[in-house]
A = this chain, B = another copy of it.
Amino acid sequence: MENIYWTIYRDYADQIEQGRLSPDSKLPSENQLAKRYGTSRETVRKALHLLSQNGYIHKIKGKGSFVLHVNKFDFPVSGLVSFKEVATKSGKEWNTDVVSLETGKPDPYVASQLNIQGSEAIWKVVRVREVGGEKIILDKDHFHKGLIPPLTKDICRESIYEYLERSSEVKISFAKKVITIEGATEEDERLLDLDRYAMMAVVRNYVYLDDSTLFQYTESRHRPDKFRFVDFARRY
């Protein structure tokens, strides 16, 4: 909250997400906002640019900034946010079951994904995500052990992201997601309520720290009928 442009961004992002600003309504002009927040126009523009990039508003030259039609449950659109945040916003009942939490040596595949030597220790967390009473998502997290504070089952049941953000030793900077569709494994069938589904939506998530070192590799396996991914992109 220290940065001016960030508080302006959060102000309007929150208002739009909560529906307190209706779609198509017009935001105050940049000059008006600058006066209202007691800052300069350039700072306001920084905040509006962020809102625009993230699909909250649309700016039209000569006219102003307008709230986009936003499906609340689509948020975050292609973001970095955790399962807990998304599940909480959706309003459905959800639950996380920590299947296993251990440290050890990575198998060769994970070691290659994490760009590390096979001798370095990692945290390995397996979690089952339950939504509406059905076990739908299987998350397999792998963390560089040396880079993060120690994990417990309780933390994994809540949100590892929140924990890491709070224990400000690590700063998450960016992430790359690769979505593919693959056959269900024996593990998927054992741990999830798969019904008759034979394929899974697989999201491989590569998370990087502020110094651009890869510190987390996650495989998130979703039952296909419950999978939905939203992406917002802008042409400059």
Residues of A within 8 A of B (CB): 6, 50, 53, 55, 58, 60, 66, 68, 74, 77-80, 172-181, 198-199, 201, 208, 210-212, 224-225, 227-236
Contacts and interface: CB of A to CB of B under 8 A. Distances in A.
A174 B79 contact: no
A230 B50 contact: no
A228 B172 CA distance: 25
Contacts of A231: 78, 176-179, 229, 231
Given A66-B212, A181-B224, A173 B235 contact: yes
Contact of A212 (B60, B172, B199): B60
Contacts of A66: 212
Copies of this protein, total: 2
Given A58-B173, A179-B231, 9 more contacts: A58-B208, A66-B212, A78-B78, A80-B234, A177-B230, A179-B179, A179-B230, A180-B227, A181-B201
| CB-CB nearest 3 A-B residue pairs | A181-B224, A179-B229, A177-B231
